[in-house]
């Protein structure tokens, strides 16, 4: 007798979970259809808003008096430039883009390198 009650409880729990999962799937489908209808929704625009920036390479004298390769980023919208970073690798480029995003007057959340 106890086993039958336990099986009934497990079946009821499974059916509740399945109903809940169906409800979530329907909500996801409705949200997806809604986002296709309204592609210019403000939340979607703000989430990934980035400004293109040009990376320039050059040479600069470091604190020890040696000439060393460096990079800096320039915002394509305003022309603001970041501080230079020694080196020409991806870490130096990412540092320049971060510094530019902190100081630029264009209002972008971050800047992305433009292939050029």
**pLDDT tens-digit map of 19-62:** 888 888 888 877 766 555 544 444 434 444 788 999 999 999 98
Mark residue 63 as left, alpha or beta (left: phi above 0; alpha: psi -120 to 50; beta: remaining). Answer: alpha
**pLDDT tens-digit map of 60-109:** 998 999 999 999 999 998 999 999 999 999 999 999 999 998 898 888 88
pLDDT at 5 over 60: yes
Quick one: tokens of 41?
A: 């929704």
Specify the pLDDT at position 43: 41
Domain ranges of the chain: 2-44, 49-113
DSSP state of 28: H
Predicted TM-score of the model (pTM): 0.56
């Amino acid at each position: 007798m106890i086993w039958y009650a336990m099986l009934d409880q497990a079946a009821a729990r499974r059916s509740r979970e399945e109903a809940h999962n169906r409800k979530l799937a329907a909500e996801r489908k409705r949200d997806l259809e809604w986002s296709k209808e309204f592609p210019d929704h403000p939340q979607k625009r703000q989430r990934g808003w980035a400004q293109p920036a040009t990376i320039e390479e050059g040479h600069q004298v470091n604190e020890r008096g040696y000439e060393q390769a460096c990079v800096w980023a320039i915002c394509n919208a305003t022309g603001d430039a970041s501080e230079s970073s020694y080196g020409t690798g991806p870490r130096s480029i990412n540092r320049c883009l971060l510094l530019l995003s902190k100081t630029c007057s264009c209002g972008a959340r971050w800047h992305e390198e433009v292939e050029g």
